[in-house]
Structure 1
Amino acid sequence: LNHVISHISSAVSRGHRHLAAKYVTEAERLGGFGFNYLHKEVLSFEKEDLRDIILAASVRKKPFSNSAITPLHCAAINPNVKYLTRLLSIEPDINIQTYTRARPIHFAAACEGSAPLEFLLKRNANPGDADNKGDLPIHYAARSGRSKNIDVLIKHAKSIVSEDMQNDKWGIGMINKPNRLAFCPIHLAVTEG
């Protein structure tokens, strides 16, 4: 079970919210493993309200392992954007990074709904930010099989594209940009998504 708990971040990065919620609850039962109540609530809540008083330190809480995912990263995979909105009203850093340099926009791209991704793009989160493996948010969306989020990312890229960027070698929205293992989003969509 400890092995599974130490890989909760993998479930979160793939957008498996219910699975991650189950194991965060189990981690909490076994002493926490560095997770707090906010990790659990933003993963498991559907429509319930969060507590009235939430400290910024609780929003930034990083577990000992699990790539240091914060409740903010977890809220990004909940299709109900009110949780992400609430946490960002307390801790406004939309670029808070995990140990792997993934930001909330990476996790939002893996979400089963597109609302968190659209919200972060409106808040000027950069879809061109790569994690330490060279994965962009579009890689996360492709790996997780989130075609609607791929459409959102491409539509966003088209809305900001300039004449110079139209001939970019990676294509609009960096759809042809390989990660450090030379996998483009299309490769990940075929093999894993």
Structure 2
Amino acid sequence: MPSDSPVLIPIDMQRAFDAPPWPRRWNADLDRNGRQLLAAWRRAGLPIIHVRHDSVEPGSTLRPGLAGHAFRDGFAPLDGEPVVAKSVNSAFIGTDLDLRLRRLGAPPLVVFGIATDMCVSTTVRTGANLGWAITLVADACDCFDLPDIAGGVIRAEQVQAVHRATLAYEFCRVVSTREAVSALTGA
């Protein structure tokens, strides 16, 4: 992970993902790892830009005003930590995220959140295509079981493994929470 003032970007750490209609998730350590990243960035005084999904889809559990729209416990922004609201999968589309980052001097990005295969992956891919240096903290991400078009279910663990591999192959560096915090603190 690059050491020069990386910006932490938690993506869609919202309560909606804990209840139906969302399927089973795999990562029991998601919250612990994500909170550890936030704590490390805050101790270091480094920038954090939270991304929140503000759905415009009827019936979505992520619509503003619904309980699921709120941040998960321990993931609400602190004073001075901006929130970028998006209504599509990529945090770079229809938002001012790119401009905010350029105003910070085009730092490297460290990303985690829900869901690895959807909004996290789309944000990482778009960001990489825009020229951003990105690190994905894979064990601070989560995704869901998905229906297989041939019938059956593709387990969330398999979805995670495939997306982690494809992102690492071309779009970003992939690390663990321990590696991200160690790189940040030098420990």
TM range (shorter): 0.3 to 0.5
**Structure ranking higher on relative contact order (CA contacts 8 Å, 6+ apart):** 2
TM-score, with normalisation over the residues of structure 2?
0.36
TM-score, with normalisation over the residues of structure 1?
0.35
Q: Which has the higher strand share?
A: 2
Q: Which one has a bigger Cα radius of gyration?
A: 1
Q: Which has the higher helix share?
A: 1
